[in-house]
């Protein structure tokens, strides 16, 4: 499959710009075929104008029509076949098996949102009927549903080139909500973006969607700010670094009309190991935790970067065992040069700090190959950990920091010192339960997802998932970027007062033609 | 009842500051008894520290306990009796009958949130059970509910000294959500604040709430910024001017950890009068619309400040009739000097514009009394209206602007030129229906509440109310400040993964001890 390197400007492609770039294969340290052309200011304007025109048409389509579109996207992505797996694997350095799994997840997300649209209850219909005789004033008929917010800017992530990128969770949830999407293609996997974008455009044409419902452009940093500040854009979805996430957030806040930015940015995902859990299961925990730390070269936002425990014989034995497990791991290729460089710098900074000791590092033999990350485990005393904010900075990659606390009170203090997190985990047994309630209370205040006896990596796509926590885990911890509840990021409520039945949207009509659960005069009923 | 003028710092009062102020009665142009002392920096710190300590205790109380607290607040407010009505009426210039009605609404809001807490479904419980045998990876058990966000800063509004102030909607919804509240008392009604604060503190003590669950302070402008930027505060509720609302919003965005600001700011609430509605009902519409414009001296965020119609015989006749209705209205006292001054300036600016003509003004006879607003209706051609942005600025008070459009296309263009609105209204008959769909589509995109054949003033407190629209109507159009859905502003979701049943919060336990509707494996069930 030949790649054109052009931008997807609605249903056509366009490559009028003078600047282009190539994709890079980190595993082979070489460039990949295809010249990808940055969009011109004019092309960006075209794309946004198409999204603006598409919005009033797309938002009026029935939920079923939108569902058909999402299902068609999943089908067209599968139709890309091995070409997608191969290109995506080459661009990301991730093994074909992982990419194949991620493709299934990506298509599964589209289909899950399609089912949500067909089910219909997501629209949160609420009806309060009129009481014309109420005193002192009559009660009017009020009915409320959720409506789409407007065109959405989506920034893909490098670490999930399918599931959090061009056709990833943000795109799926925004399209499901009724919002046109403009993707700023990630420069780490432009070929993957081209293949996936072509699948989405095919699906849009097959299912009769308006032109502009989806576009995808390559942008310079300066144009990214123009993009986020453009009046057509009504919300932003982003997954990436805290630095870039905050730039987008500040740009959106400084607009004459501020818009929501859903930036998933930074987390170290603390894991608390209670004493009896270590006494009973230290070997299993050491093995499974090491597996979670090095999974995907540690390049997950849910990577366990911090492990807290009180000092004891059991925890000493655990640390030795865990160090052995990490020593035995094999370095793996990282996603791109920048991420590799940042990882090495992060590790170096920690190792220059006199408070931190290196407890184990995986064999360096294989690291001769470029852009591989060497898993490492560091140790620190809790008092030292709390003394400097930078010790709780995220190191994106297979590194974790063991924090040794002198007692339960210090463990709670260390937890309390943390910023907001995507996840927090506790391992305990029944014998630990006397001390566990304050731990659970605290981690529930700090994180979006709390885990008992498991590991934070692995994020289930389902109705009850919460992927998003207090700042800086995300810029808006009130929402999730994974699971069906992600649709609520791109909608707002509208109340209809005293409308004739036939002028109401279907979910609010008396006959309940969609057959959905609704809150009618305070009672939920179908 | 003697007023102490002190701040409510948790369960004690404190007045260490050196600056104090008096309340002013706009109707009598005189000061009222009581010296109100601005909080010192130290007192503010005390209050925030108490809120921080109260949070982990308050958030853990059962929903029933919180409901008892809210019900007790309503009871204690009623116990204040006539002293509250008299003081509030004197401070606001609003008639005793209006204040009595507003008190009922304020207590009703508390009781509605108490009922919501007892009903329990608001917590949006979602459960996805484990599938240990799923391939390729087992599915873990995930369960999600909403948890409180943290201490909330509430800024009361002058135009609803009870229902949108110390014990108003923001306070009720934040307390219901499980968040401690710190009120920045409005300087227009400090005596009302003192009475209501004392009622809330009594209720908190009676029902065993932790100290710091509620405080109320008088603050200088500089200290307001310290307050909003303080790390303890996790969200802000505000109702007032666009200028101040945006200052708070920008302060919150510039924090190291940005927090949500729910500012309800500015709206002109367009009313579209379709041709046949005017032909059939011009007299009724003229009378009722005039009533809506002058209600409460026009000091409602939902005041109809803009009326659009195409030119026709019917609309000419309507304009004459409407002008007569406005001429016959009686000026009324405004809430305070600043609001009165801003109203006069706003009217003067419009009347200096050559594009705008004065169609009618109420009798000036009664305006001799200070701080009364003279109702006025202005007229403008749609092309002129669209030529300058300032013609769509809000004039807070009993003024409205009639926009005459040459045809339906120009009417749609004028609507399209508007910023976000709290409400938008259309009057039509069946004969207008050919042209009404694009109007409804457009106003649904512009506003949070759309009204058919009614008037925007009067906001029902119910489950389906949406009081909040796209910017600048509110800083966050995804939420409402009126009705039970307001609770969602002060919560965020937390997912519990693989938790033992007895360590889960009650709403998520297998036995469903609260008996609430939950989404279990994709099906809603009790």
- What is the full DSSP assignment across A185-206? --TT-HHHHHHHHHHHHHHHHH
Report the alpha-carbon distance of residue B57 to residue A48 in Å, rounded. 49
CB contact, 8 Å: B485 with chain A?
A: yes
Residue in chain B nearest A440 by alpha carbon: B503
What is the distance in angstroms between the Cα of B17 and the nearest Cα belonging to chain A? 33
Helix (H) or strand (E) holding B30: strand B30-31
Mean local confidence (pLDDT), A213-229? 96
Helix, strand or coil, per DSSP, at residue A294: helix
Report the alpha-carbon distance of residue A268 to residue A245 in Å, rounded. 16
Torsion-angle region of B5 (φ positive above 0: left; ψ -120 to 50: alpha; else: beta):
left
Tokens at A50, concatenated: 């198409």
Cis peptide before A221 (omega within 30 of 0): no
Mean local confidence (pLDDT), A182-200? 98
pLDDT score, position A434: 87
Q: In the A/B pair of chains, how many CB contacts fall below 8 A?
A: 194
Residues of B in contact with A470 (CB under 8 A): 257, 492
Tokens at B165, concatenated: 């102030």
CB contact, 8 Å: B494 with chain A?
A: yes
What is the distance in angstroms between the Cα of B144 and the nearest Cα belonging to chain A? 5
Give strand pairing partners of A270: A306
pLDDT score, position B12: 97
pLDDT score, position A370: 83
From the centroid of its chain, how far is CA B412? 28
CB contact, 8 Å: A139 with chain B?
A: yes
B253 in catalytic set:
no
pLDDT score, position B434: 87
All residue ranges of chain B with pLDDT < 50 are: none
Q: Are B451 and A497 a contacting pair, CB within 8 Å? A: yes
Helix, strand or coil, per DSSP, at residue A406: coil
Report the alpha-carbon distance of residue A208 to residue A190 in Å, rounded. 26
Report the alpha-carbon distance of residue B52 to residue B151 in Å, rounded. 7
Q: Are B192 and B162 a contacting pair, CB within 8 Å? A: yes
Mind listing the pLDDT tens digit for each residue in A18-51?
999 999 999 999 999 999 999 999 999 999 999 9
Inter-chain residue contact A144 with B465, CB threshold 8 Å: yes
CB contact, 8 Å: B148 with chain A?
A: no
DSSP 8-state secondary structure symbol assigned to residue A210? P
From the centroid of its chain, how far is CA B231? 25
From the centroid of its chain, how far is CA B403? 27
Residues of A in contact with B496 (CB under 8 A): 449-450, 452
Max distance between CA atoms of chain B, in angstroms, equals 83
CA dihedral A454, A458, A463, A466 (to 10 degrees): 80
Average pLDDT, chain A: 96
pLDDT score, position B335: 94
Q: Of B140, B467, B478, B522, which to mutate for an interface test with A (greatest number of A Cβ within 10 Å)?
A: B478
pLDDT score, position B366: 58
Helix, strand or coil, per DSSP, at residue B272: strand
pLDDT score, position B290: 97
Inter-chain residue contact A452 with B478, CB threshold 8 Å: no
Q: Are A337 and A24 a contacting pair, CB within 8 Å? A: yes
> Of B199 and A370, which is predicted with more confidence?
B199
CA dihedral A149, A153, A158, A159 (to 10 degrees): 0
Helix (H) or strand (E) holding A126: strand A126-128
Report the alpha-carbon distance of residue A378 to residue A489 in Å, rounded. 38
* A327: pLDDT strictly greater than 90: yes
Mind listing the pLDDT tens digit for each residue in A5-22?
999 999 999 999 999 999
pTM over 0.90? The answer is yes
pLDDT score, position A383: 98
Work out the pLDDT band at A365, boundaries 50, 70, 90: low
State the Cα angle at A26 between A23 and A32, rounded to 5°: 30
Give strand pairing partners of A131: A139
Mean local confidence (pLDDT), A345-356? 97
Report the alpha-carbon distance of residue A168 to residue A187 in Å, rounded. 16
CB contact, 8 Å: B506 with chain A?
A: no
Distances (CA, A) of B485 to A126, A262, A306, B170, B266: 10, 21, 37, 11, 21
- Residue B349 makes CB contacts below 8 A (sequence gap 6+) with B390
Burial of A349 (0-12, 13-18, 19+ CB in 10 A): middle
Mean local confidence (pLDDT), A169-192? 98
Tokens at A206, concatenated: 């097959």
Nearest to B126 by CA among A113, A445, A465: A465
Burial of B274 (0-12, 13-18, 19+ CB in 10 A): buried
pLDDT score, position B367: 59
pLDDT score, position B284: 97
How many Cα neighbours within 13 Å face the side chain of A278? 22
Report the alpha-carbon distance of residue B64 to residue B113 in Å, rounded. 11
ipTM: 0.97
Inter-chain residue contact B499 with A450, CB threshold 8 Å: yes
Inter-chain residue contact B463 with A491, CB threshold 8 Å: no
Tokens at B2, concatenated: 């003697």
pLDDT score, position B370: 83
Angle at which helices A242-253 and A221-229 pack, to 10 degrees? 40
Of A258, A436, A453, the CB nearest to B498: A453
pLDDT score, position B310: 98
Mean local confidence (pLDDT), A248-272? 97
Average the pLDDT over each of A172-186, A315-329, B168-182, B358-372 and give the range with the smallest value: B358-372
pLDDT score, position B363: 78
State the Cα angle at A505 between A503 and A509, rounded to 5°: 80
Q: Are A372 and A399 a contacting pair, CB within 8 Å? A: no
Only one residue has tokens 């500012």, namely B263
Which one is catalytic: B194, B264, B325, B394? B264
Inter-chain residue contact A493 with B485, CB threshold 8 Å: yes
Q: What share of chain A is helix, strand, coil (3-state, %, to 5)?
A: 45, 20, 35
pLDDT score, position B105: 97
pLDDT score, position B515: 97
Nearest to B347 by CA among B326, B320, B369: B326
Inter-chain residue contact B492 with A472, CB threshold 8 Å: no
CB contact, 8 Å: B10 with chain A?
A: no
Inter-chain residue contact B495 with A466, CB threshold 8 Å: yes
Report the alpha-carbon distance of residue A260 to residue A489 in Å, rounded. 9
Inter-chain residue contact A56 with B445, CB threshold 8 Å: yes
Mean local confidence (pLDDT), A241-248? 96
Q: Are B142 and A464 a contacting pair, CB within 8 Å? A: yes
What is the distance in angstroms between the Cα of A463 and the nearest Cα belonging to chain B? 7
Give strand pairing partners of B261: B236
CB contact, 8 Å: B356 with chain A?
A: no
Helix, strand or coil, per DSSP, at residue A12: strand
pLDDT score, position B60: 96
Mean local confidence (pLDDT), A110-120? 98
Tokens at A88, concatenated: 């995506």
Q: Of B492, B506, B522, B523, which to mutate for an interface test with A (greatest number of A Cβ within 10 Å)?
A: B492
- Catalytic site residues of A? 264, 301
How many Cα neighbours within 13 Å face the side chain of A350? 26
Report the alpha-carbon distance of residue B517 to residue B125 in Å, rounded. 8
Mind listing the pLDDT tens digit for each residue in A458-508?
999 999 999 999 999 999 999 999 999 999 999 999 999 999 999 999 999
Give strand pairing partners of A8: A13, A216
> For residue B7, which phi and psi values (nearest 5 degrees)?
-80, 155
pLDDT score, position A363: 78
Residues of B in contact with A498 (CB under 8 A): 451-454
Mind listing the pLDDT tens digit for each residue in A417-428?
999 999 999 999
Helix (H) or strand (E) holding B205: helix B190-206
Tokens at A237, concatenated: 């979805």
Pairing of strands B376-381, B523-525: unpaired
* A368: pLDDT strictly greater than 70: no
């Amino acid at each position: 499959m030949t790649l054109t390197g052009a931008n997807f400007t609605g249903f056509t492609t366009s490559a009028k710009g003078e600047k282009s770039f190539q994709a890079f294969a980190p595993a082979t340290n070489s460039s990949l075929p295809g010249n990808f052309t940055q969009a011109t200011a004019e092309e960006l304007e075209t794309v946004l104008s198409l999204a603006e025109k598409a919005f009033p048409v797309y938002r009026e389509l029935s939920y079923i029509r939108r569902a058909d579109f999402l299902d068609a996207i999943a089908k067209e992505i599968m139709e890309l076949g091995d070409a997608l797996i191969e290109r995506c694997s080459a661009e990301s350095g991730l093994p074909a098996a992982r990419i194949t799994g991620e493709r299934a997840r990506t298509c599964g997300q589209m289909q899950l949102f399609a089912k949500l649209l067909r089910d219909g209850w997501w629209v949160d219909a609420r009806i309060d009927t009129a009481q014309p005789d109420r005193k002192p004033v009559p009660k009017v008929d009020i009915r409320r549903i959720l409506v789409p917010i407007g065109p959405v800017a989506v920034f893909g992530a490098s670490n999930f080139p399918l599931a959090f990128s061009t056709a990833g969770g943000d795109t799926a949830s925004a399209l499901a909500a009724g919002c046109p999407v403009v993707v700023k293609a990630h420069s780490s996997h432009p070929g993957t973006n081209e293949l996936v974008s072509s699948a989405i455009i095919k699906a849009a044409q097959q299912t009769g969607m308006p032109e502009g419902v989806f576009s995808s452009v390559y942008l310079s940093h300066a144009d990214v700010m123009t993009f986020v500040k453009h009046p057509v854009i009504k919300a932003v979805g982003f997954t990436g670094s805290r630095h870039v996430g905050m730039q987008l957030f500040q740009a959106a806040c400084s607009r004459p009309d501020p818009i929501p930015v859903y930036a998933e940015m930074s987390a170290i995902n603390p894991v608390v190991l209670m004493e009896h859990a270590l006494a009973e299961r230290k070997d299993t925990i050491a093995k499974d935790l090491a597996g979670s730390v090095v999974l995907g070269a540690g390049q997950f936002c849910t990577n366990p970067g911090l492990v807290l425990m009180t000092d004891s014989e059991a925890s000493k034995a655990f640390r030795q065992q865990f160090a052995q497990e990490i020593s035995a791991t094999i370095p793996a290729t990282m996603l791109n040069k920048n991420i590799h460089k940042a990882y090495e710098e992060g590790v170096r900074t920690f190792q220059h700090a006199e408070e931190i000791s290196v407890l184990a590092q995986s064999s360096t033999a294989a690291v001769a190959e470029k852009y591989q990350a060497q898993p490492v485990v560091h140790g620190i005393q809790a008092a030292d950990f709390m003394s400097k904010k930078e010790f709780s900075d995220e190191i994106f990659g297979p590194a974790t920091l063991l924090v040794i606390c002198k007692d339960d009170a210090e463990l709670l203090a260390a937890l309390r010192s943390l910023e907001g997190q995507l996840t927090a985990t506790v391992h305990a047994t029944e014998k630990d339960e006397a001390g566990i309630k304050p731990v659970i209370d605290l981690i529930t205040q700090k994180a979006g997802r709390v885990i008992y006896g498991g590991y934070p990596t692995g994020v289930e796509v389902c109705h009850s998932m919460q992927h998003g926590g207090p700042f800086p885990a995300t810029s808006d911890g009130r929402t999730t970027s994974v699971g069906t509840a992600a649709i609520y990021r791109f909608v707002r409520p509208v109340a209809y007062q005293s409308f004739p039945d036939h002028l109401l949207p279907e979910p609010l009509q008396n006959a309940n033609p969609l057959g959905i659960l609704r809150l009618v005069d305070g009672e939920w009923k179908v």
